[in-house]
Amino acid sequence: MKQNIYDAFDAVSCDEALKGQTLDYVIKHMRRSRKPVLRRMKWAVSLACLLLFATSVLGGYSLYYTKAAVISIDVNPGIELDINRWGKVVGQNTYGEESETVLQTLSLKHLEYEEALALLLGSDAMQQYLKKTPLSPSRWKQKTGTLRCSQAFRSAWTQP
């Protein structure tokens, strides 16, 4: 039975021109099928780079605006400054109308917290509230404690 099948296919033949045309068609078809794979690969790599860029931008944005500390100034106008891990002011909260009027003239966002505090406490609008309540010895202790805390905060974030 096996020999009969071999004998039947031995009789099948084709000329050399048909073999050449078939070979050309197969090679042409193989080249055509490679191009879409390369195009898809280029799109995939481009999309991966875009995704990586978007992730790093959004991650950096959220990292910058995440609060690491809050400085609260509780004179009659209550003001809170939100500080990020690099010591920059990223937000401010007001408690009362007086504090809103104090902050209307000042732009404290994205400043170093020391510079923002100096600007806030040195402003004319804030000076009128600071003159109303002079510092007592107990408040001096609070102030020096705050300064020590400020120095500890600065050294904690600047050390590697």
Which domain covers residue 14, as residue numbers? Answer: 2-63
One domain, residues 39 and 91: no
> Helix (H, G, I), strand (E, B), or coil: what is residue 84?
coil
The answer to whether the beta carbons of residues 88 and 110 sit under 8 Å apart is yes
Distance CA 23, CA 47 (A): 37
| Residue where one domain finishes, among candidates 10, 36, 63 | 63
Q: How many domains does the structure of the chain reveal?
A: 2
The amino acid occupying position 83 is I
pLDDT for 150: 58
In the prediction, which pLDDT does 130 show? 76
Q: Are residues 50 and 74 in the same domain?
A: no
Domain boundary among 43, 63, 83: 63
Residues 88, 126, single domain; the answer is: yes
First to last CA, the chain: 84
Can you give the pLDDT at residue 26?
A: 87
Q: Give the pLDDT confidence score for residue 102 in this predicted structure.
A: 85
Cβ atoms of 98 and 129 within 8 Å: the answer is yes
Do 102 and 151 share a structural domain? yes
Question: How much is the pLDDT for 140?
Answer: 47
**Do both 128 and 101 map to the same domain?**
yes
pLDDT tens digits, the chain, 160 residues: what are they? 777 887 777 777 888 888 889 888 888 887 776 667 777 888 999 999 999 999 999 988 988 999 999 998 887 778 999 999 999 999 999 888 888 888 888 889 999 999 998 888 888 888 887 776 555 555 544 544 555 555 555 565 555 5
CB atoms within 10 A of CB 118: 12
- For 93, the enclosing helix (H) or strand (E) is strand 89-95
What local confidence, expressed as pLDDT, does residue 144 receive? Answer: 47
